[in-house]
């Protein structure tokens, strides 16, 4: 099975309500809430592309784009 490599975190700030669910579920602590209580990818280099944030977001405000090695 090919390993997924992060291409981009796509975050729709208009849809994000700042609930923090994605931040809580991220196993590598990639995501944080900023000063406006919106999610940001603070440490994208640590992302393992598990897509738990995308799966758990109740507002579908986050998408993980990947490419295969």
pLDDT, position 17: 98
pLDDT, position 4: 85
Residue-range domain boundaries for the chain:
4-68
Nearest alpha-carbon partner for 13 in 32, 47, 36: 36
Give 11-36 pLDDT, tens digit per residue. 999 999 999 999 999 999 999 999 99
| Consecutive H or E run containing 52 | helix 52-56
Give 31-69 pLDDT, tens digit per residue. 999 999 999 999 999 999 999 999 999 999 999 999 975
Query: What fold does the segment set 4-68 form as a domain?
Result: Alpha-Beta Plaits (3.30.70)
Given a contact cutoff of 8 angstroms between Cβ atoms, the answer to whether 62 and 10 are in contact is yes
d(C-alpha 2, C-alpha 8), whole Å: 18
């Amino acid at each position: 099975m090919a390993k997924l490599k992060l291409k981009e975190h796509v975050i729709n700030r208009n849809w994000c309500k700042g609930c923090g669910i994605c931040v809580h579920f991220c196993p590598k602590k990639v995501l944080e809430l900023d000063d406006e209580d919106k999610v940001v990818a603070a440490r994208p280099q640590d992302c393992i592309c598990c897509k738990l944030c995308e799966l758990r977001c109740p507002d579908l405000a986050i998408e993980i784009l990947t490419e295969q090695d």
